[in-house]
Structure 1
Amino acid sequence: MSGKSPLAIAAGRLRRDKVAMVCLSIVIIFALIAIFASQIASLFNVTTQPGNPSQQLDFINDGMPLKGPPRNGFDPEHPFGIAPKTAKDNLASWLYGARTSMLIATSATVVASLVGIVLGLVSGFVGGAVDKVISFVIDLFLTLPFLLMALVIAPILNERFALTPDRYQTMQVVSLIGILAAFGWMGVARLVRGEVLSLREREFILSARVIGMPTTRIMVKELLPNLVAPIVVAISLMLPAFIAAEAGLAFLGVGITQGESWGQTILLASAYFELYPLYLWEPLLGIVVLVLALNLLGDAIRDAVDPKTRR
């Protein structure tokens, strides 16, 4: 019987973990929702366009919907209800908000991981002055408070493109991905650097140096395959953090302000919490369920990769 690689063994442990499999199923469902948000919205015949407030909202009293929640039963035309003031369909906002959160968080995770992996490899393997410079940059970024820097940088970037409305929404997404990635790569870089420092004196690396293998090839062909497990763990824990951060910045008004976002919906719904709690709970539960599933899945991956961490 052929031996199994460490990753194959870890995958087998992960498949036997029922909690991990449930969390993975939840993450896949959310990913499919994000990918096929347009098709799902068309299936339910809902759009993100504002409705007809004069006919759908009760402006005589407090502006709540005339049909559906919070004061009436289920409305099949708007399964999640409609929003006050705009009469926009909440299901459509939820679906496209899921797409926005997943797109931004996934893109920021990929960018931050690539930057962290490259700098960590170079810093740990080359050493010397290069290691000192990269370590100083890592420490410098770690000392910068993320929330404060985001509150300062995001409005500047958004204002820079405010004069080009056709590109404003896209640039908001790009700038937010850049901000999240710029303050999220340091953990991966430190992790990779530490692993490389422990691997670069191993026999297979010394042998590669002796036979004259180029430095780039050593890092890519010899070191990187041995770093897959810790990198996967780091990525699995970074993704939920970015989802929560994106929603938090949108809630503070410096994230996504045009287009759909769970955080923006929470900001709008917070004013109606007492009158219309479902309006607030829909995006909030989406964030909680997705982030919790990703965190539990990340913990399960970590335990599968390193069984010594099991409690």
Structure 2
Amino acid sequence: MTAPLDVPGSAAEAQPESVLAGAGKAIQGRSLTRIAWLRLRRDKVALGGGVVVVLLILVAIFSGPIISVFGHDPLEFHQDAIDQSTLLPQGSFGNMGSEYLLGVEPVNGRDIFSRIVAGAWISLLIGFLATLVSVVIGTVLGVVAGYFGGWVDQVIGRIMDVFLAFPLLVFAIALAGVVPDKGFGLEGNGLRIAMLIFIIGFFSWPSIGRIVRGQTLSLREREFVDAARSLGARHGYILFREVLPNLLAPILVYATLLIPTNILFEASLSFLGVGINPPTPTWGGMLSEAVRFYTLPHFVLFPGLAIFITVLAFNLFGDGLRDAFDPRAH
């Protein structure tokens, strides 16, 4: 049997025009950030969490105008909304209505909506800045430990173990009780906020430090690092130009997951009475005051929902970022 002859112009013959069609089009590469965004865009739950996070940040930034339009001064008493015989809010559901969107607090009649909005910036400020402190310290020490190894890794590793075993909540309660009203050029709640940022950020860095160390141990054995060494690159160049850019994705993901943890910790300290001094509104402080009025569910519900929604939104967004930047998840 003989092979069939290729007839010019037949389907069996590959035409040059069809082979070269589209050859002039440049192949566009996609960066890791572009690929991660395409993956994240398909995750509707994570995008929803990100939208809520952005809205919370905007509420915290523009809390003043929002309160002036939709609420009242968060420190102002409204005795006209309180039944003087029972010291409870007049009307149903804590006097919830058009004048007071979420009702008022018992006894003093302060606007709950305004206090929740005003407390948002404190929770987010402490959460973000404490996370920034943790990320900076943990990244620096984690990269140094993972890259150099040896006795450097051993020393930093033992320091991490000590910090991880430290009773952070007990230390925060003890330190808050001895902090003076003035110090380091700060006073009042300004000093309290700085103290909480220091305690939460400085003592929680080992968690991200261990993750960065593990990633650095893997990256230092990669081909691009060996190539940089063979070309005579110094340690500083390799760390800042080769290793750190490849750590940005895991650092960003873990920072997003660490923010709600820090927000919860601040709310816990305020609930225990060792956080921000009253009458400055905080979500944890509002929950602490609401414990005495268990017959008024709205007094507990709204600040609790604010904490729940904030933590859930950050966690959903962080999980989506982790899946988007992890190539093994797809």
Same fold (TM over 0.5): yes
Per-residue CA deviations over 1:107-151 (Å, capped at 9, x if unaligned) read 111111111111111111122222211111101001112222222
- Aligned partners of 1:237 and 1:309: how far apart in 2? 18
Point out the structure with max Rg over C-alpha. Answer: 2
Matched-pair contact (CA < 8 Å) for 2:271–2:288: yes
Matched-pair contact (CA < 8 Å) for 2:182–2:191: no
Q: State the partner residue of 1:126.
A: 148
Shift in CA distance, 49/67, structure 1 to aligned 2, threshold 3 Å:
farther
Instruction: Kindly indicate whether residue 109 of structure 2 is the aligned counterpart of residue 84 of structure 1.
Output: no
Which runs of 5 or more residues in structure 2 are unaligned?
1-26
Per-residue CA deviations over 1:203-252 (Å, capped at 9, x if unaligned) read 22123223332322211111011111211111111011111111111101
Selected match of 2:170 from 148, 167, 170: 148
Moved more, 124-133 or 257-266: 124-133
Q: State the partner residue of 1:27.
A: 53
Q: State the partner residue of 2:191.
A: 171
- Aligned partners of 2:176 and 2:258: how far apart in 1? 20
Quote the sequence identity (%).
38
1:192-207 matches, cutoff 5 A:
192-207=212-227
Selected match of 1:233 from 253, 260, 282: 253
Matched-pair contact (CA < 8 Å) for 1:68–1:81: no
Per-residue CA deviations over 1:164-218 (Å, capped at 9, x if unaligned) read 9971110111100111102221111111111111111222212322333232221
Shift in CA distance, 29/231, structure 1 to aligned 2, threshold 3 Å:
same
Per-residue CA deviations over 1:25-45 (Å, capped at 9, x if unaligned) read 111111111111011011125
Matched-pair contact (CA < 8 Å) for 1:34–1:96: yes
Q: State the partner residue of 1:66.
A: 90
Q: State the partner residue of 2:41.
A: 15
Q: State the partner residue of 1:106.
A: 128
Query: Which secondary structure state, in structure 1, belongs to the residue aligned with residue 292 of structure 2?
Result: helix
Q: State the partner residue of 1:288.
A: 308
* TM-score normalized by the length of structure 2: 0.86
- Aligned partners of 1:3 and 1:164: how far apart in 2? 52
Matched-pair contact (CA < 8 Å) for 1:154–1:179: no
Selected match of 1:269 from 270, 290, 295: 290
Instruction: Give the CA RMSD over aligned residues.
Output: 2.0
- Aligned partners of 1:308 and 1:226: how far apart in 2? 16
* TM-score normalized by the length of structure 1: 0.91
Shift in CA distance, 9/164, structure 1 to aligned 2, threshold 3 Å:
closer
Instruction: Kindly indicate whether residue 72 of structure 2 is the aligned counterpart of residue 51 of structure 1.
Output: no
- Aligned partners of 1:52 and 1:302: how far apart in 2? 47
Q: State the partner residue of 2:17.
A: none
Per-residue CA deviations over 1:54-89 (Å, capped at 9, x if unaligned) read x332121x211235633x5x4322211111222211
- Aligned partners of 1:104 and 1:45: how far apart in 2? 24
- Aligned partners of 2:28 and 2:159: how far apart in 1? 45
Matched-pair contact (CA < 8 Å) for 1:57–1:85: yes
- Aligned partners of 1:292 and 1:51: how far apart in 2? 32
Aligned length, in residue pairs: 303
Matched-pair contact (CA < 8 Å) for 1:31–1:102: yes
Which runs of 5 or more residues in structure 1 are unaligned?
none
- Aligned partners of 1:7 and 1:164: how far apart in 2? 41
- Aligned partners of 2:240 and 2:149: how far apart in 1? 17
